[in-house]
Amino acid sequence: MIPEIGNFSLIVALSLAILLAVFPLWGSLNNRYRWMRMARPLAVGLFVFMAISFGCLVASFLNDDFSVLYVATNGNSKLPLMYKISAVWGAHEGSLLLWAFLLSGWTLAIAMFSRSLPLQMVARVLSVMAFVAIGFLLFMLITSNPFERIFPAPLEGRDLNPLLQDPGLAIHPPMLYMGYVGFAVAFGFAIAALIGGKLDAAWARWSRPWTTVAWVFLTGGIGLGSWWAYDELGWGGWWFWDPVENASFMPWLVGTALIHSLAVTEKRGAFKSWTVLLAIATFSLSLLGTFLVRSGVLNSVHAFASDPARGVFILVFLCLVVGGSLALYAWRAPSVSSGGTFGLLSRETFLLVNNLLLSVVAAMVLFGTLAPLIYEAMGWGKISVGFPWFNRMFVILTPLLAVAIGVGPMSRWKHNDPKWLFAQLRNALIVTAIIAVISLLPWVNQGHLLVSLGLVLAAWIVASHVENLRLRIRNRRGIQAVWQDLRNGSRSYYGMWLAHIGVAAFIIGITGVTNFEIERDLRMAPGQKAEMAGYEFVFEGVVKSMGPNYEADRGRVSIYQDGEKIGVLEPEKRVYFSQAKPMTEAAIDITWSRDLYVSLGEPLGNGEWALRLYYKPFVRWIWAAAILMALGGLLSVSDRRYRILRRKVSVRIGAEARA
């Protein structure tokens, strides 16, 4: 019964979405207030029925209702409660439902928190969101219904993939999807602005906080995913340039560009068309990411052939969204005035450099991700694009970005005197030069020039931002001004500051781990010792142990430093009852400056085991960077300016409308 309710709610939600997509938009074009006013209640209805539907799938998992095909393939009665819930988004159908549910949630949020926006704008944004919802609901109902039944029902479910039974991965997809779906809001605002033909500062200001929140979620989601891969896959890698990862990274890159470009549009009225284009691109890449990951197309072109209905639907939907919005753009954008002019040496220019570089990186990642598909489709052979290529591309492009990050916040809008700008940056340049000399010493970079490069870039970002902060508070009441700002003033500056420091931390993390990591695969007998990076690892053997739904071989490795015991690691090899295959569970000893990572290989007889030992310097800085960036984003969203200015703008627009 519950699955039927879920299915029925999906159909009701679809009907509501169709109404929401048509009537408020139509009303906004003909100035019919009654039709526009339908938008908010319809958005609430859409959310309610999506919530019922989603709740029904959760309930089916909790009740172990294996007569539902999706529950039978992804659930199991022995799963711990948390994983019964996270199993809902463990595969294709359920993750689509989560996507659509979150979309209805964002739609509701706009309906609720847009009291200060003109009704026309709200109606249009909600209609655009509803169009996207229609696409997803149809996709689910036609090709991938999560509530499909099977007969006869199996007695036990096939269980959630053990790799996914991890707290990190339980919340990773919802976070990521919150980000993906959040960009639908930016998309909605952009399309609504295009429909109205009015791309002004007000539009950018409304769109900014939503976009930043979406970006924060995406940043957190990607960080979590990376941490999970490192923690759970047992290979000690934190990024593989896997198509699945690239699919989430591309919207992040373009989304980052969008945040910066929105700033220019809001403050200076420039980059309008470009910002709209970025908003469209970000959301299109989010859609592409969702579909490509879940449909399995990236593994092989043949995945399309195995389920043509899905493939065709995806292609048509993507073409409609991308093609439709680009057509609208081509029709409307030329009438948009070009906005404020700016000189060669201005903050606008540096933000333009930022946008350009991020877009180029995204385009490269897209190219590298799709190249195997293109090669195969053209019959040029089966290829895979190597790790080194992505890394090299990154090493070429990011230094330019890092340089711009240092200068951008220092420069003023519109025009800068080169001498003035240089004077502003002089201290930062001196510090960076000193660090550069130190980093070239052989005992610092140990012969890796890339280490010097990384240190210099990080030093440049940190030094210029510290100097920037010093100059900012020098003319005010000193450090007290910071507290005042944080309490009720402009938090967005500190958000920017924090996020940029995050970039520096990221550079240090990558530099440390890629240049100094040590990996050793060893054959060890109980009692045997191994030296690595100044640490001594003593293997003490393996014992059997039992978990709630698995059985494990648990190894014991003691770690000594300078003859002193600093820790014991217990890596496991688990066999889950519902699956035949074993799973590696690594054990990690963590400090701020390095990880020691041990995973169990296979038994080699006589109590000997294959062991994998890693020394990972500064790897934590990578995730710390993601946290810093996400916090920075949150801080700038909480800026009071948005709330106050929004009210002012609406008053002004209201006044104009009356006049």
Amino acid at 119: L
CA distance 125 to 193: 9
Peptide bond into 418 cis (omega under 30): no
Token pair listed for 163: 């790799």
Our finding on whether 116 is near another protein (CB under 8 A) is: no
CA distance 243 to 551: 32
Our finding on whether 124 is near another protein (CB under 8 A) is: no
Is the Cβ–Cβ distance between 554 and 545 less than 8 Å? yes
219 to each of 239, 249, 503, 611, how far by Cα in Å? 14, 9, 12, 33
CA 34 to centroid of chain Cα atoms:
38
CA distance 317 to 315: 6
Considering only 18, 318, 373, 393, the residue that binds another protein (CB under 8 A) is: 393
Q: Using the minimum distance from each CB to another protein, give the nearer residue, 70 or 215.
A: 70
* Min CB(367)–another protein separation in Å: 8
Considering only 15, 77, 116, 349, the residue that binds another protein (CB under 8 A) is: 349
Counting beta carbons within 10 angstroms of the beta carbon of residue 159, is it exposed (0 to 12), middle (13 to 18) or buried (19 or more)?
A: buried
Is the Cβ–Cβ distance between 2 and 60 less than 8 Å? yes
* Min CB(479)–another protein separation in Å: 39
Q: Using the minimum distance from each CB to another protein, give the nearer residue, 90 or 632.
A: 90
Our finding on whether 584 is near another protein (CB under 8 A) is: yes
Amino acid at 352: L
The total of other beta-carbon atoms located within 10 Å of residue 342's CB is 20
Considering only 343, 527, 603, 654, the residue that binds another protein (CB under 8 A) is: 343
Place of tokens 């492009």: 397
Q: Using the minimum distance from each CB to another protein, give the nearer residue, 347 or 491.
A: 347
Contact region with another protein (CB under 8 A), list: 14-22, 142-150, 516-524, 619-627? 516-524
* Min CB(344)–another protein separation in Å: 5
CA distance 426 to 622: 29
Site string for another protein, 146-175 (x = CB under 8 A): ---------------x--------------
* Min CB(103)–another protein separation in Å: 30
* Min CB(525)–another protein separation in Å: 11
- H/E element, 381: none
Contact region with another protein (CB under 8 A), list: 205-213, 218-226, 385-393, 446-454? 385-393
CA distance 44 to 50: 10
Q: Using the minimum distance from each CB to another protein, give the nearer residue, 2 or 360.
A: 360
Our finding on whether 76 is near another protein (CB under 8 A) is: no
CA distance 28 to 46: 20
Q: Using the minimum distance from each CB to another protein, give the nearer residue, 360 or 444.
A: 360
> Could you tell me which residues come within 8 angstroms of residue 203 by beta carbon, excluding any fewer than 6 positions away?
121, 189, 193, 265
- Angle of CA points 491, 458, 235, to nearest 5°: 105
DSSP code of 164?
G
Q: Using the minimum distance from each CB to another protein, give the nearer residue, 195 or 453.
A: 453
Our finding on whether 299 is near another protein (CB under 8 A) is: yes
Our finding on whether 532 is near another protein (CB under 8 A) is: no
Our finding on whether 378 is near another protein (CB under 8 A) is: no
88 to each of 94, 327, 650, how far by Cα in Å? 5, 37, 41
Residue closest to 615 by CA, chosen among 510, 511, 507, 519:
519
Considering only 360, 438, 627, 634, the residue that binds another protein (CB under 8 A) is: 360
* Min CB(164)–another protein separation in Å: 12
Our finding on whether 324 is near another protein (CB under 8 A) is: no
Our finding on whether 383 is near another protein (CB under 8 A) is: yes
CA distance 603 to 573: 10
Considering only 449, 568, 604, 644, the residue that binds another protein (CB under 8 A) is: 604
Contact region with another protein (CB under 8 A), list: 9-17, 224-232, 278-286, 375-383? 375-383
H helical segments located in 163-271: 167-196, 201-232, 243-268
Q: How far apart are the first and last CA of the chain?
A: 57
Contact region with another protein (CB under 8 A), list: 19-27, 277-285, 298-306, 490-498? 298-306
Amino acid at 474: R
CA distance 392 to 373: 21
* Min CB(601)–another protein separation in Å: 4
* Min CB(86)–another protein separation in Å: 19
Our finding on whether 400 is near another protein (CB under 8 A) is: yes
Contact region with another protein (CB under 8 A), list: 129-137, 144-152, 347-355, 558-566? 347-355
Contact region with another protein (CB under 8 A), list: 109-117, 135-143, 481-489, 601-609? 601-609
Q: Using the minimum distance from each CB to another protein, give the nearer residue, 352 or 499.
A: 352
CA dihedral (264, 322, 307, 303) in degrees, to 10, reads -50
Q: Using the minimum distance from each CB to another protein, give the nearer residue, 296 or 541.
A: 296
> Could you tell me which residues come within 8 angstroms of residue 652 by beta carbon, excluding any fewer than 6 positions away?
none
Considering only 337, 341, 480, 561, the residue that binds another protein (CB under 8 A) is: 341
Our finding on whether 197 is near another protein (CB under 8 A) is: no
Residue closest to 245 by CA, chosen among 257, 234, 255, 253:
253
* Min CB(436)–another protein separation in Å: 22
Contact region with another protein (CB under 8 A), list: 34-42, 110-118, 143-151, 598-606? 598-606
Token pair listed for 168: 């990190």
Contact region with another protein (CB under 8 A), list: 73-81, 121-129, 344-352, 461-469? 344-352
- Beta strand 550-561 with 535-546 is antiparallel
Our finding on whether 385 is near another protein (CB under 8 A) is: yes
Considering only 81, 330, 580, 657, the residue that binds another protein (CB under 8 A) is: 580
Applying CB under 8 A, the site for another protein has a residue count of: 44
Considering only 388, 418, 442, 534, the residue that binds another protein (CB under 8 A) is: 388
Residue closest to 223 by CA, chosen among 256, 247, 245:
245
Three-state DSSP state, 454: helix
Site string for another protein, 209-248 (x = CB under 8 A): -------------------------x--------------
**Torsion sign across C-alpha atoms 296, 299, 305, 306:** negative
Our finding on whether 509 is near another protein (CB under 8 A) is: no
Considering only 419, 544, 581, 658, the residue that binds another protein (CB under 8 A) is: 581
Interacting residue ranges for another protein, rule: CB under 8 A: 161, 234, 299-300, 302-303, 341, 343-344, 349, 352-353, 356, 360, 364, 368, 371, 381-386, 388-389, 392-393, 396-397, 400, 521-523, 580-584, 599, 601-602, 604, 610, 612
